[in-house]
Structure 1
């Protein structure tokens, strides 16, 4: 089994190819968007760098759909399991996301694009306090989206468990919490100050962006309890695609920050989340193509997409440093036809390494039969009792 087949064999055989396409598209939009900030691409091509923004938006909606399906299924047992169901959910999500996040956090302390820094200055990143309701610094900038994800993982199921504990049924509790996660960020964007006209200033703040994941959970809600409506969304995919394309064009023209009011700016975020979330059923309905090489590329990229996302900036830094060290910067870096293939090869190479040696071991540990958060806590209690 070669290096490409090995991680593919470890992947879940029940993965949805269409959702793999969605994840691959979202990931590569971010990578290519950031890559276009390097070298000397044609102005028309360089002008597409803003698409990285929508790659993250698409991923938020996809994440909401995937996690929403898990939550809605598991929450049915939370009345009997009480806290155990919640801690098991947190355990699985944190074993999936935190090891690689912490790995690149420590790498960033020395090799961040903004320069070296110290743990004492940046320790708040360990608890995702870098951008909850305020602007973050340029250190470990990519972590802004992980902070949005982690705060969602923490707060959404916690509020849902509270609703269930108060006697609300799972279906109704889910809808109440979904509405909260759609409305509160909208109101926060209106009520809290946005200091600058730059698009980035608002899109990096956790409290402003939780609704993008919330709309993804809404699609999971429709999938779970209103399957015919979900299938109709898949059939009429061209409607949300048209609106999403219109939003992309408007963004290219300077919206939403040329709009006159915070309400209109906030509505722009909401519309983006709605239209991209509405595309998820279409992606879900996709089946593998007749091109095996393309299918393998999509599945492999999707499999290591988390490593690609967190590691691609460091891959760029590595390439640039090597070019500078060997006096090739002027020859290679300034020629996008040479620089970009090298960038992409390094991105995939680094992602393969971090997936293999950081992500995968923790995923195996997480999935060991009988090894769980509840088991760990019980073992810890027995250990303390034996002292």
Structure 2
């Protein structure tokens, strides 16, 4: 499929399914930019889906990176060199694709607007949204900046904790570090709540959810879940119940509370401080069930796996390159009905095709160099 061979037996189908759902939710959400004439229900679902998708990515990333780091700190030779080796492998996976698409974005922006983007140099160091919302250019990169800083904070924090407490159980220090980071950034958001007066869910989205300094706990919920999973605190017989509770949590947080009239304007503390952690916890509760999930249909499994594998390229390309480009040269704002449906489906197909090509001819070859 797509001329790419991926050994299915080495994958975790449930996590590939979660990653596929996440990237589909993100692309679906950003499709709202095509036109304001989608049916009301579709438009409403598009507005809801983006946040869920990105938060799923954060939790899955935390779970998988937590697994690597927990194994790493238990090596006899764990030290600064080990951390840099870990970062080198992560950066081979993430940076070339990021910089390639960043340069494409700069070129496209100049082509369309005849000028260079604001604060362009910040994007080369993932600083575009460190303390404030990023400029209009390459907006989806905000989540990548959050993850890059998380990758650095965790391993170095563990290094110093292990040096301070050399005789302590390293796995417990891993848990302590994760919980400490979560606690610190909950406090940071409490401080934000009392020092900022936001007026809407849109301003919350731009000034808190997408700002790195307020999101540095984002992947550490996945760390905690991996610790609980690794230490066998979660029994297989409870997986289905936890999944149902987690799914119910996502439903309540993203649909029910709004249907009940719970708004940012009336409950700013809930959204500023509690909403994102509760969302991460809900997603975490679904992971044990997904890890053991088996997908019987080979056809379905292949599609899920390939979309999951392409998800990073899809994320980088789908919005500020593909949709920005086609909207510039094929305007869609006034489309309605069947033409809007055809434009949207065509856009989705183009995203899949171009992302598969980027993965096959750029992302995969570059990632292979790290080995």
TM-score normalised over the length of structure 2: 0.89
Q: Give the Cα–Cα distance (whole angstroms) in 1 for the partners of residues 121 and 337 of structure 2.
A: 34
**Does residue 41 of the first structure (1) align with residue 48 of the second (2)?**
no
Partner of 2:18: 22
Check 1:116–1:146 CA distance in 2 against 1; reply closer, same or farther (3 A cut): farther
Measure how far apart 1:349 and its partner are. 1.4
- Of residues 68, 71, 76, the one that matches 1:70 is 68
- How big is the alpha-carbon RMSD for the aligned residues of Structure 1 and Structure 2? 2.5
Paired position in structure 1 for 2:253: 247
1:47 alignment partner, SS class: helix
- CA drift of 1:200 comes to 1.2
Who is 2:185 aligned against? 185
Match of 2:79 in 1: 82
Structure 1 pair 28/285, CA: closer, same or farther in 2 (3 Å)? same
CA contact (8 A) 1:104 1:310 kept: yes
Q: Select between 235-244 and 64-73 the one with higher mean Cα deviation.
A: 235-244
Q: Deviations over 1:31-86 (max 9, x none)?
A: 00111331321111111112111100111111100111111111101x52311210
Residues in 1 aligned to 2:197 and 2:95: alpha-carbon distance in whole angstroms: 31
* Secondary structure at the counterpart of residue 124 of structure 2: helix
Q: Among 11, 14, 31, which residue is 2:27 paired with?
A: 31
CA separation of 1:134 and 1:225: change in aligned 2, threshold 3 A: same
Q: Which runs of 5 or more residues in structure 1 are unaligned?
A: 368-387
Q: Which runs of 5+ in 2 are unaligned?
A: none
**2:242 corresponding residue in structure 1:** 236
What is the CA distance between 1:330 and its match in structure 2? 6.4
Cα 1:87/1:301, change in 2 over 3 Å: same
Q: Deviations over 1:168-225 (max 9, x none)?
A: 4311210111112211221111213445332312110112222231111111111111
1:123 corresponds to: 121
Out of 342, 350, 363, the position equivalent to 1:359 is 363
Question: Which position in structure 1 is the counterpart of 2:353?
Answer: 349
Measured after TM superposition, the shift of residue 281 of structure 1 is 1.4
Distance 1:161 1:231 in 2: 35
The change in CA–CA distance for 1:308 and 1:188 in structure 2 (over 3 A counts) is same
Aligned residues: 358
Q: Which residue of 2 aligns with 1:308?
A: 314
Are 1:267 and 2:265 an aligned pair? no
In the TM superposition, 1:107-186 aligns within 5 A as: 107-112=104-109, 115=113, 117-118=115-116, 121-166=119-164, 167=166, 168-186=168-186
Q: TM-score, normalization: structure 1?
A: 0.85
Task: Report the equivalent of 1:293.
Answer: 299
Partners of 2:129 and 2:212 within 8 A in 1: yes
Tell me: CA distance 1:260–1:227, structure 2 relative to 1, closer, same or farther (3 Å). closer
Aligned counterparts of 1:294 and 1:309: Cα–Cα separation in 2: 21
The answer on whether the counterparts of 2:150 and 2:216 sit within 8 Å (CA) in structure 1 is: yes
**1:90–1:153 Cα contact (<8 Å) kept:** yes
Cα separation, 2, equivalents of 1:104 and 1:342:
21
Asked whether the equivalents of residues 108 and 116 of structure 1 are also in contact (C-alpha less than 8 Å), the reply is no
Q: Is the 8 A contact 1:234 1:285 kept in 2?
A: no
Q: Which structure is richer in relative contact order (CA contacts within 8 A, separation 6 or more)?
A: 2
SS in 1 for 2:10: coil
- Contact 1:17 1:299 survives alignment (8 Å): yes
Give, in whole Å, the separation in 2 of the partners of 1:137 and 1:232. 44
State the shift of 1:258 in Å.
2.6
SS in 1 for 2:29: helix
Query: Does 1:100 find its partner at 2:105?
Result: no
Correspondence for 2:330: 323
Alpha-carbon distance change, 195 to 150 in structure 1, aligned in 2, over 3 angstroms:
farther
